[in-house]
Amino acid sequence: MTPPVDGIVNAFEAVWPSRLRRSCRVVLAVSGGADSVAMTHLIHDSTNQVDAGSITLAHYNHAWREAESDADQAFVAELAEKLGHHFVTESAECGSEKSEQAARTRRYDFLKAVTRQQGARYLATAHTADDQIETILHRILRGTGLTGLTGIPATRVFDDDFVLIRPLLQCRRSQVEDYLTSIDQPYRTDKSNADTRWTRNRLRHELLPLLRDQYNAEVDKSISQLGSIASDALAAIEPQIETHQAAIAIHEFGFSLPVLRPETVRFPLLEALRRTWKRHGWPEQAMTAEHWNSLADVAVGHRKSCNLPGDVQAVHSQGVVSVS
Protein backbone atom coordinates (compact mmCIF):
# COMPACT_ATOMS: atom_id res chain seq x y z
CA MET A 1 0.00 0.00 0.00
CA THR A 2 1.07 3.58 -0.58
CA PRO A 3 1.29 5.72 2.62
CA PRO A 4 -2.02 7.62 2.03
CA VAL A 5 -3.86 4.34 1.50
CA ASP A 6 -2.16 2.57 4.40
CA GLY A 7 -2.94 5.32 6.93
CA ILE A 8 -6.59 5.76 6.10
CA VAL A 9 -7.26 2.02 5.86
CA ASN A 10 -5.80 1.48 9.34
CA ALA A 11 -7.89 4.31 10.81
CA PHE A 12 -10.98 3.01 9.02
CA GLU A 13 -10.46 -0.55 10.23
CA ALA A 14 -9.94 0.67 13.81
CA VAL A 15 -13.50 1.97 13.88
CA TRP A 16 -15.14 -0.67 11.67
CA PRO A 17 -13.17 -3.93 11.35
CA SER A 18 -14.01 -5.84 8.17
CA ARG A 19 -14.92 -8.94 10.21
CA LEU A 20 -17.93 -7.07 11.67
CA ARG A 21 -19.45 -6.26 8.29
CA ARG A 22 -18.74 -9.59 6.61
CA SER A 23 -21.93 -11.13 5.15
CA CYS A 24 -23.97 -8.10 6.30
CA ARG A 25 -26.11 -5.76 4.24
CA VAL A 26 -24.72 -2.22 4.39
CA VAL A 27 -26.21 1.14 3.35
CA LEU A 28 -23.77 3.96 2.63
CA ALA A 29 -24.87 7.61 2.81
CA VAL A 30 -23.13 9.08 -0.24
CA SER A 31 -23.38 12.75 -1.15
CA GLY A 32 -20.71 12.59 -3.84
CA GLY A 33 -18.27 14.65 -1.79
CA ALA A 34 -14.74 13.54 -0.94
CA ASP A 35 -15.56 11.95 2.43
CA SER A 36 -18.42 9.73 1.29
CA VAL A 37 -16.69 8.75 -1.96
CA ALA A 38 -13.59 7.70 0.00
CA MET A 39 -15.76 5.69 2.40
CA THR A 40 -17.43 3.96 -0.55
CA HIS A 41 -14.08 2.91 -2.03
CA LEU A 42 -12.70 1.77 1.32
CA ILE A 43 -15.69 -0.50 1.89
CA HIS A 44 -15.75 -1.68 -1.73
CA ASP A 45 -12.05 -2.56 -1.71
CA SER A 46 -12.38 -4.56 1.52
CA THR A 47 -15.50 -6.47 0.45
CA ASN A 48 -15.24 -9.91 -1.12
CA GLN A 49 -17.26 -10.94 -4.15
CA VAL A 50 -19.76 -12.91 -2.07
CA ASP A 51 -20.74 -9.75 -0.18
CA ALA A 52 -20.54 -7.34 -3.12
CA GLY A 53 -24.31 -7.35 -3.69
CA SER A 54 -24.99 -6.41 -0.09
CA ILE A 55 -23.90 -2.76 -0.47
CA THR A 56 -26.35 0.05 -1.29
CA LEU A 57 -25.39 3.66 -2.02
CA ALA A 58 -28.12 6.00 -0.75
CA HIS A 59 -28.19 9.61 -1.95
CA TYR A 60 -30.56 12.33 -0.75
CA ASN A 61 -30.95 15.22 -3.21
CA HIS A 62 -31.79 18.38 -1.27
CA ALA A 63 -32.31 20.21 -4.60
CA TRP A 64 -30.87 23.41 -3.12
CA ARG A 65 -28.40 23.95 -5.96
CA GLU A 66 -30.67 22.90 -8.84
CA ALA A 67 -28.45 21.64 -11.71
CA GLU A 68 -25.47 21.07 -9.40
CA SER A 69 -27.60 18.98 -7.04
CA ASP A 70 -28.80 16.88 -9.97
CA ALA A 71 -25.19 16.47 -11.10
CA ASP A 72 -24.26 15.21 -7.62
CA GLN A 73 -27.03 12.61 -7.86
CA ALA A 74 -25.90 11.51 -11.32
CA PHE A 75 -22.31 11.24 -10.09
CA VAL A 76 -23.27 8.92 -7.20
CA ALA A 77 -25.47 6.83 -9.50
CA GLU A 78 -22.55 6.42 -11.90
CA LEU A 79 -20.20 5.52 -9.03
CA ALA A 80 -22.61 2.83 -7.82
CA GLU A 81 -22.89 1.37 -11.32
CA LYS A 82 -19.12 1.44 -11.82
CA LEU A 83 -18.51 -0.44 -8.56
CA GLY A 84 -21.44 -2.82 -9.04
CA HIS A 85 -23.55 -1.73 -6.07
CA HIS A 86 -27.21 -0.86 -5.62
CA PHE A 87 -28.27 2.80 -5.81
CA VAL A 88 -31.26 4.46 -4.13
CA THR A 89 -32.14 8.15 -4.20
CA GLU A 90 -34.84 10.57 -3.16
CA SER A 91 -35.31 14.28 -3.81
CA ALA A 92 -36.68 16.93 -1.46
CA GLU A 93 -40.18 18.08 -2.26
CA CYS A 94 -40.61 21.49 -3.84
CA GLY A 95 -41.12 24.11 -1.14
CA SER A 96 -39.40 22.13 1.63
CA GLU A 97 -38.00 24.21 4.48
CA LYS A 98 -34.43 25.32 3.75
CA SER A 99 -32.68 25.13 7.09
CA GLU A 100 -29.74 23.01 8.25
CA GLN A 101 -31.82 21.22 10.87
CA ALA A 102 -34.79 20.55 8.56
CA ALA A 103 -32.47 19.27 5.82
CA ARG A 104 -30.66 16.99 8.25
CA THR A 105 -33.95 15.58 9.54
CA ARG A 106 -35.22 14.82 6.02
CA ARG A 107 -31.92 13.24 5.01
CA TYR A 108 -31.76 10.95 8.05
CA ASP A 109 -35.43 9.98 7.71
CA PHE A 110 -34.65 8.88 4.15
CA LEU A 111 -31.47 7.01 5.15
CA LYS A 112 -33.17 5.19 8.02
CA ALA A 113 -36.07 4.20 5.76
CA VAL A 114 -33.68 2.82 3.10
CA THR A 115 -31.70 0.91 5.72
CA ARG A 116 -34.84 -0.76 7.05
CA GLN A 117 -36.19 -1.47 3.56
CA GLN A 118 -32.91 -3.12 2.60
CA GLY A 119 -32.81 -5.13 5.81
CA ALA A 120 -29.31 -3.76 6.35
CA ARG A 121 -27.35 -4.25 9.54
CA TYR A 122 -25.34 -1.03 9.11
CA LEU A 123 -25.93 2.52 7.93
CA ALA A 124 -22.58 4.24 7.37
CA THR A 125 -22.02 7.98 7.19
CA ALA A 126 -18.72 9.67 6.31
CA HIS A 127 -18.09 12.05 9.21
CA THR A 128 -14.37 12.67 9.68
CA ALA A 129 -12.15 13.77 12.58
CA ASP A 130 -12.50 17.33 11.25
CA ASP A 131 -16.28 17.09 11.58
CA GLN A 132 -15.75 15.89 15.15
CA ILE A 133 -13.51 18.85 16.00
CA GLU A 134 -15.95 21.34 14.46
CA THR A 135 -18.89 19.76 16.31
CA ILE A 136 -17.21 19.95 19.73
CA LEU A 137 -16.09 23.54 19.14
CA HIS A 138 -19.58 24.52 18.00
CA ARG A 139 -21.10 23.01 21.14
CA ILE A 140 -18.61 24.81 23.39
CA LEU A 141 -19.54 28.13 21.81
CA ARG A 142 -23.27 27.41 22.02
CA GLY A 143 -23.02 26.12 25.59
CA THR A 144 -22.84 22.43 26.44
CA GLY A 145 -22.20 19.89 29.16
CA LEU A 146 -20.13 16.74 29.46
CA THR A 147 -22.25 14.79 26.98
CA GLY A 148 -21.95 17.52 24.35
CA LEU A 149 -18.18 17.56 24.73
CA THR A 150 -18.01 13.89 23.70
CA GLY A 151 -18.91 14.97 20.17
CA ILE A 152 -20.20 12.63 17.48
CA PRO A 153 -20.41 8.97 18.58
CA ALA A 154 -18.70 6.40 16.34
CA THR A 155 -21.76 4.14 16.57
CA ARG A 156 -25.41 4.33 17.52
CA VAL A 157 -27.94 1.49 17.69
CA PHE A 158 -31.45 2.21 16.36
CA ASP A 159 -33.94 0.06 18.31
CA ASP A 160 -31.90 -3.08 17.52
CA ASP A 161 -32.90 -2.63 13.85
CA PHE A 162 -29.50 -1.48 12.64
CA VAL A 163 -26.31 0.28 13.67
CA LEU A 164 -25.38 3.77 12.50
CA ILE A 165 -21.60 3.81 12.12
CA ARG A 166 -19.10 6.53 11.21
CA PRO A 167 -15.98 4.65 10.06
CA LEU A 168 -13.98 7.76 9.05
CA LEU A 169 -14.24 9.41 12.45
CA GLN A 170 -10.53 8.94 13.13
CA CYS A 171 -9.47 10.14 9.66
CA ARG A 172 -8.54 13.74 8.91
CA ARG A 173 -10.03 15.42 5.86
CA SER A 174 -6.53 15.83 4.40
CA GLN A 175 -6.06 12.04 4.61
CA VAL A 176 -9.30 11.53 2.70
CA GLU A 177 -8.24 13.87 -0.09
CA ASP A 178 -4.75 12.34 -0.30
CA TYR A 179 -6.31 8.88 -0.50
CA LEU A 180 -8.62 9.84 -3.36
CA THR A 181 -5.71 11.43 -5.22
CA SER A 182 -3.67 8.24 -4.78
CA ILE A 183 -6.41 6.10 -6.37
CA ASP A 184 -7.22 8.72 -9.02
CA GLN A 185 -10.86 9.01 -7.94
CA PRO A 186 -12.68 12.32 -8.59
CA TYR A 187 -15.42 13.64 -6.33
CA ARG A 188 -17.98 16.41 -6.23
CA THR A 189 -17.41 19.75 -4.49
CA ASP A 190 -20.40 21.40 -2.87
CA LYS A 191 -19.86 25.14 -3.24
CA SER A 192 -22.26 25.82 -0.37
CA ASN A 193 -19.62 24.39 1.99
CA ALA A 194 -17.71 27.64 1.46
CA ASP A 195 -20.74 29.82 2.25
CA THR A 196 -19.93 31.53 5.55
CA ARG A 197 -23.57 32.40 6.18
CA TRP A 198 -23.71 28.92 7.75
CA THR A 199 -22.27 28.59 11.27
CA ARG A 200 -20.45 25.35 10.52
CA ASN A 201 -18.65 26.95 7.57
CA ARG A 202 -17.60 29.97 9.63
CA LEU A 203 -16.08 27.62 12.18
CA ARG A 204 -14.24 25.70 9.46
CA HIS A 205 -13.03 28.61 7.33
CA GLU A 206 -12.69 31.47 9.81
CA LEU A 207 -12.53 30.53 13.51
CA LEU A 208 -10.39 27.37 13.41
CA PRO A 209 -7.76 28.93 11.08
CA LEU A 210 -7.65 31.96 13.43
CA LEU A 211 -7.17 29.74 16.48
CA ARG A 212 -4.42 27.75 14.76
CA ASP A 213 -2.63 30.91 13.58
CA GLN A 214 -2.84 33.12 16.66
CA TYR A 215 -3.53 30.92 19.70
CA ASN A 216 -2.53 27.27 19.36
CA ALA A 217 -1.15 25.60 16.24
CA GLU A 218 -2.36 22.25 17.60
CA VAL A 219 -5.83 23.38 18.65
CA ASP A 220 -7.39 20.54 16.61
CA LYS A 221 -5.48 18.01 18.71
CA SER A 222 -6.47 19.80 21.93
CA ILE A 223 -10.17 19.71 21.02
CA SER A 224 -9.95 16.03 20.06
CA GLN A 225 -8.28 15.21 23.38
CA LEU A 226 -11.00 17.12 25.24
CA GLY A 227 -13.60 14.97 23.47
CA SER A 228 -11.78 11.78 24.47
CA ILE A 229 -11.50 12.89 28.13
CA ALA A 230 -15.21 13.76 28.18
CA SER A 231 -16.07 10.33 26.74
CA ASP A 232 -14.01 8.57 29.43
CA ALA A 233 -15.62 10.67 32.16
CA LEU A 234 -19.10 9.94 30.86
CA ALA A 235 -18.35 6.22 30.74
CA ALA A 236 -17.17 6.35 34.38
CA ILE A 237 -20.49 7.73 35.63
CA GLU A 238 -22.67 5.66 33.31
CA PRO A 239 -23.73 3.29 36.16
CA GLN A 240 -25.14 6.27 38.08
CA ILE A 241 -27.03 7.46 34.99
CA GLU A 242 -28.47 3.98 34.47
CA THR A 243 -29.61 3.86 38.11
CA HIS A 244 -31.60 7.06 37.58
CA GLN A 245 -33.00 5.78 34.28
CA ALA A 246 -34.17 2.58 35.96
CA ALA A 247 -36.22 4.67 38.42
CA ILE A 248 -38.00 6.58 35.64
CA ALA A 249 -41.39 5.20 34.60
CA ILE A 250 -42.30 5.86 30.96
CA HIS A 251 -45.89 6.77 30.13
CA GLU A 252 -47.67 7.40 26.85
CA PHE A 253 -47.64 11.16 27.32
CA GLY A 254 -44.55 11.58 29.48
CA PHE A 255 -42.67 10.03 32.39
CA SER A 256 -42.44 10.10 36.18
CA LEU A 257 -39.91 9.43 38.91
CA PRO A 258 -39.74 9.45 42.70
CA VAL A 259 -38.59 12.74 44.22
CA LEU A 260 -34.87 12.44 45.01
CA ARG A 261 -32.82 13.70 47.94
CA PRO A 262 -31.77 17.38 47.73
CA GLU A 263 -28.07 16.43 47.89
CA THR A 264 -28.35 14.19 44.77
CA VAL A 265 -25.43 14.78 42.38
CA ARG A 266 -26.90 16.70 39.48
CA PHE A 267 -25.10 15.53 36.34
CA PRO A 268 -26.07 11.82 36.29
CA LEU A 269 -29.66 12.83 37.04
CA LEU A 270 -29.68 15.46 34.30
CA GLU A 271 -28.26 13.01 31.76
CA ALA A 272 -30.96 10.44 32.61
CA LEU A 273 -33.61 13.15 32.21
CA ARG A 274 -32.11 14.26 28.88
CA ARG A 275 -32.16 10.72 27.50
CA THR A 276 -35.77 10.23 28.56
CA TRP A 277 -36.74 13.61 27.12
CA LYS A 278 -35.10 12.70 23.82
CA ARG A 279 -36.88 9.34 23.77
CA HIS A 280 -40.20 11.18 23.75
CA GLY A 281 -39.09 13.33 20.80
CA TRP A 282 -39.67 16.55 22.73
CA PRO A 283 -37.86 19.76 21.60
CA GLU A 284 -34.21 19.44 22.59
CA GLN A 285 -32.69 22.58 21.13
CA ALA A 286 -35.23 24.76 22.94
CA MET A 287 -34.14 23.31 26.29
CA THR A 288 -31.63 25.74 27.81
CA ALA A 289 -29.38 25.10 30.82
CA GLU A 290 -31.91 27.06 32.88
CA HIS A 291 -34.71 24.71 31.77
CA TRP A 292 -32.71 21.60 32.65
CA ASN A 293 -31.77 23.01 36.04
CA SER A 294 -35.40 23.89 36.72
CA LEU A 295 -36.42 20.32 35.89
CA ALA A 296 -33.68 18.98 38.19
CA ASP A 297 -34.87 21.34 40.95
CA VAL A 298 -38.34 19.77 40.73
CA ALA A 299 -36.81 16.27 40.69
CA VAL A 300 -34.94 16.88 43.98
CA GLY A 301 -37.80 18.71 45.67
CA HIS A 302 -36.42 22.25 45.53
CA ARG A 303 -39.52 23.50 43.73
CA LYS A 304 -43.05 22.27 43.11
CA SER A 305 -43.30 22.72 39.34
CA CYS A 306 -41.81 24.28 36.21
CA ASN A 307 -42.91 24.95 32.63
CA LEU A 308 -40.72 23.63 29.82
CA PRO A 309 -40.56 23.98 26.00
CA GLY A 310 -43.13 22.10 23.94
CA ASP A 311 -45.91 22.77 26.48
CA VAL A 312 -44.29 20.26 28.82
CA GLN A 313 -44.75 20.71 32.56
CA ALA A 314 -42.98 19.06 35.51
CA VAL A 315 -45.00 18.80 38.72
CA HIS A 316 -44.01 17.47 42.17
CA SER A 317 -46.91 15.95 44.06
CA GLN A 318 -46.98 13.41 46.90
CA GLY A 319 -43.38 12.30 46.45
CA VAL A 320 -43.61 11.80 42.69
CA VAL A 321 -42.45 14.06 39.85
CA SER A 322 -44.63 13.86 36.74
CA VAL A 323 -43.34 15.27 33.44
CA SER A 324 -45.88 15.47 30.63
Predicted confidence pLDDT, tens digits, the chain (324 residues): 455 577 898 889 888 888 887 778 999 999 999 999 999 999 998 876 445 568 999 999 987 777 888 999 999 999 999 999 999 999 877 666 667 777 888 999 999 999 999 999 999 999 999 999 999 999 999 888 888 999 999 999 987 689 999 999 999 999 999 999 999 999 999 888 888 888 889 999 999 999 999 999 999 999 999 999 999 999 999 999 999 999 999 998 899 999 999 999 999 999 999 999 988 888 887 888 899 999 999 999 999 999 999 899 999 999 999 999
Report the CATH number at residue 299: 3.30.465
pLDDT at 254: 92
pLDDT at 50: 47
pLDDT at 278: 87
226 occurs within a structural domain: no
Count the domains in the chain.
Answer: 2
223 occurs within a structural domain: no
Same domain, 104 and 194: yes
Same domain, 154 and 286: no
Same domain, 168 and 276: no
Sheet of 122-124: strands edge to edge?
86-91, 55-61, 26-29, 122-124, 162-165, 155-158
Torsion angle (degrees, nearest 10) of CA 190, 192, 193, 194: 120
260 occurs within a structural domain: yes
65 occurs within a structural domain: yes
CB 132 within 8 A of CB 123: no
185 occurs within a structural domain: yes
Q: How far is the C-alpha of 241 from the C-alpha of 237, rounded, in Å? A: 7
Q: 66 in helix, strand or coil?
A: coil
What predicted TM-score, i.e. pTM, was given to this entire model? 0.87
> What is the domain extent for residue 286?
238-323
Out of 169, 199, 229, a domain closes at 199
Same domain, 170 and 59: yes
Out of 199, 220, 253, a domain closes at 199
Strands 320-323 and 162-165 come out as: unpaired
CB 59 within 8 A of CB 71: no
pLDDT at 96: 63
207 occurs within a structural domain: no
pLDDT at 94: 65
24 occurs within a structural domain: yes
Report the CATH number at residue 180: 3.40.50.620
135 occurs within a structural domain: yes
Half-sphere exposure of 226 (CA within 13 A, CB side): 20
Half-sphere exposure of 181 (CA within 13 A, CB side): 8
CB 297 within 8 A of CB 260: no
Q: How far is the C-alpha of 207 from the C-alpha of 312, rounded, in Å? A: 37
Same domain, 124 and 267: no
CB 17 within 8 A of CB 9: no
What contacts 19, CB < 8 A, 6 or more positions away?
A: none
Same domain, 158 and 70: yes
Out of 150, 177, 199, a domain closes at 199
pLDDT at 22: 78
Secondary structure in 3-state letters for 187-242: CCCCHHHHCCCCHHHHHHHHHHHHHHHHCCCCHHHHHHHHHHHHHHHHHHCHHHHH
